[in-house]
Amino acid sequence: MIDFDFFINLMVPMKKQKRIEQILELLNKNGELTVEEACKKLSVSPATIRRDFSLLSEKKAVTKSWGGIILLSGYPVLDSMTPLSQRKTEFLLEKKVIAEKAASYVKNGDIIMIDGGTTTLEMIPFLAHLRLKIITNSILIAQHIDNLSKKHDLEVFLTGGMLYPSSGLLVSTQASESLEKYHAKWLFLSTGGVSKKGISNSNILVVETERSMIKQSENVVILADHTKIGKNDLVKLCDLKDIDILITNETQESRQILEKMQLDKKKIFFV
């Protein structure tokens, strides 16, 4: 079985981490990859690629073949995200209330970033009356804005990147690089988990884009229903100190868990 702790801990240098992610992207598309192909695509030496291939093999994400590697059958490394159609109906009322609170921070003329997710998607009706510039990695959010009204004052900027299946999300290094030219007052992020270890999500490519969004934003707002509190998802996104606001719906259990996290109470908003 794949040792996902490798991807969670990310205990490799940043350049190597990005290269590993690119290798995984290529593997997820084709199922196999040769040293020659990887060298050509990533512009690095055969010795470097062989070391990366060996690392992935050690972590049981791939098996070695003659001249390359093959993605292990049954373990699509990047296919870790529950389809959006399934997630949209879960705790819908709670998500709407959280989304409404998140939208209340936004004022006319703001530039904001919105990460793709079922909770952030619910923000759009609460923003439709404002004059905003919205940067997003979600074609579903962009479409939802476009469908609301032909006369709205919301300008939408989409990141580039590869369309991740069944999610409506644009991912890959191209998506991350495109964000470098933007700056936003607010960033709104859905998440897979909130724990003492930090904020986490289910897909390494999505997390890479979200990290780029964090770098380009003044204020980071996490939208998480109570089922995400105390949970660690596949890949760590950031530490708790890196967020400015956490919005969640209040249950006795979620309040108790958050109290034990020692997160600044001024950052937590229950709805």
- Residue pair 114/134 in contact by the 8 Å Cβ criterion: yes
Domain boundaries, the chain: 5-71, 84-270
SS3 82: coil
pLDDT-derived band at 255, boundaries 50, 70, 90:
very high
The whole-number pLDDT of residue 91 equals 67
149-202 per-position pLDDT tens digit = 666 789 999 998 888 877 889 988 888 899 999 999 999 999 999 999 999 998
56-75 per-position pLDDT tens digit = 887 666 778 878 888 764 44
Looking at the structure, give the CATH architecture of the domain made up of residues 84-270: 3-Layer(aba) Sandwich (3.40)
Please work out, in degrees rounded to the nearest 5, the angle formed at the alpha carbon of residue 198 by the alpha carbons of 196 and 204: 140
In a 10 Å sphere around its CB, with 0-12 CB exposed, 13-18 middle and 19+ buried, how is residue 159 labelled? buried
The alpha-helical segments, DSSP class H, found in 10-105 are 14-30, 35-42, 46-58, 84-87, 92-103
Looking at the structure, give the CATH architecture of the domain made up of residues 5-71: Orthogonal Bundle (1.10)
Sheet holding 32-34, edge to edge: 32-34, 68-71, 62-65
The whole-number pLDDT of residue 90 equals 59
Q: Is the pLDDT of residue 11 over 50?
A: no
Distance CA 136, CA 127 (A): 14
The whole-number pLDDT of residue 247 equals 98
Long-range contacts of 29-32 (CB under 8 A, 24+ apart): 31/70, 31/71, 32/65, 32/68, 32/69, 32/70, 32/71
- Residue pair 159/175 in contact by the 8 Å Cβ criterion: yes
pTM assigned to the model: 0.70
